[in-house]
Amino acid sequence: MVRVLEGAAAGAFMASSWADLCRRDSQATPYQSPAWLTGWAHQLPPSSRLVVALCEGPARQVLAAVPLVCDRAGARPRTFALSAPMGEYVRAVGPAAEDPQVAMALARYLEGLAADGQHVDMAGLPADSALARHLTSTGPAFAGRWHTSVTDCAEISLPLAYEGMSRSTRRDHKRRQRAWDELAQRHKVTYQRTRDSDELLTAYAALASLHARRWAGHAPPAGSPHAPGALHWPAVLERCGANMAFIATLAVDDEIVAAQLCLTRHRRAYSVVPAIDPFYKDLAPGHALLRHLAQDLTTAGYEYLDLGRTVLGQHAYKDQYRPRWSKTVSAVSAPPASLEVPDERAWPTAEPV
């Protein structure tokens, strides 16, 4: 059975019960953490309403929940995952989130919203999750209701196994490392990772500046990490704190030339937003920072570094680290027959399912 909470009731549930749901779900990511989600929920515009869909068992025991936003700013209500598009992985949360019957109940709730004329956009569902499988089902209950697409995601194991890379890849890594070794003979090269909230927010300002400089005058590729310059990011990071978020930086003579915002859960780190100084692009500062970060995380006991969604042009870059590739699914409801079908080129898709 699915019960729906809205507005203040949804917020109260997230404040009182979400941490326990997340703790009992071994597959939850930082994007399902209460700190991350409430950080975005507290900044919803007046046209939006927080919604939590609960799948309950006997005695109203919560088996799984999905945090959503219903926005009524346009002519047609739109429902989407809370924290989208900043949150890269969207999951139902709870001890039975991967139970097929639970996922089916939640999928039918979303299907009902779409059937009632709402625009439902569930982007970033891990393709192997039960909810994604049900929403992309070809069965009669869902046929023709959803437009689906997939995005590649990359995760690298730590420590980096350079010896297992191809000869040409090892040669490329060594060539770039030599360039930085030579630079370090003439300049001070410093790698750092933030350790407290003050350092995190200070480094965030530098990352936002780098990101703006990198994309000045042109837009990032479709599907790239959401621009970090908006004021709402510091409020979210302040809630996450140093126990869950950090920014790694690489500096030349105290000038930051690359930065990477990451979230963590258990022994896995998740890259959220990277940024580089375009003036140093010939030195591949992103690669240099990633090598430092991988070594740092290995020393700190991390086992994986998730590089997140991969947009056009990034596959070769990430392939150099021998990642495990996975996919996320975006399921967007088709409009009612009375509405014009949107141009497929406008959908945030990378590859048709």
- Which single residue is written with the structure tokens 């690359």? 258
Q: Is the pLDDT of residue 350 over 60?
A: no
Whether 251 contacts 237, CB under 8 Å:
no
Q: Is the pTM of this model over 0.85?
A: yes
Q: Residue 225: which residues within 8 A CB-CB, separation 6 or more?
A: 86, 88, 272, 273, 274, 308, 309
Q: Is the pLDDT of residue 345 over 50?
A: no
Mean pLDDT of 210-239: 80
- Give the separation between CA 73 and CA 76, rounded to whole angstroms: 8
Q: What pLDDT score does 313 carry?
A: 83
∠ CA 89-90-94, nearest 5°, is 115
Using the 8-state DSSP alphabet, how is residue 93 labeled? B
Upper half-sphere CA count for residue 156 (Cβ side, 13 Å): 23
Q: What is the pLDDT of residues 64-113, one digit of tens each?
A: 999 999 999 988 999 999 999 899 999 999 999 999 999 999 999 999 99
Structure tokens at 318: 């990430």
State residue 153 phi and psi, 5-degree precision.
Answer: -130, 150
Mean pLDDT of 196-212: 94
- 52 three-class SS: strand
Q: What pLDDT score does 77 carry?
A: 94
- Beta strands 268-276 and 304-309: pairing type? parallel
Q: What is the pLDDT of residues 20-74, one digit of tens each?
A: 999 999 999 999 999 999 999 999 999 999 999 999 998 889 999 999 999 999 8
Q: What pLDDT score does 266 carry?
A: 94
Q: What pLDDT score does 227 carry?
A: 66
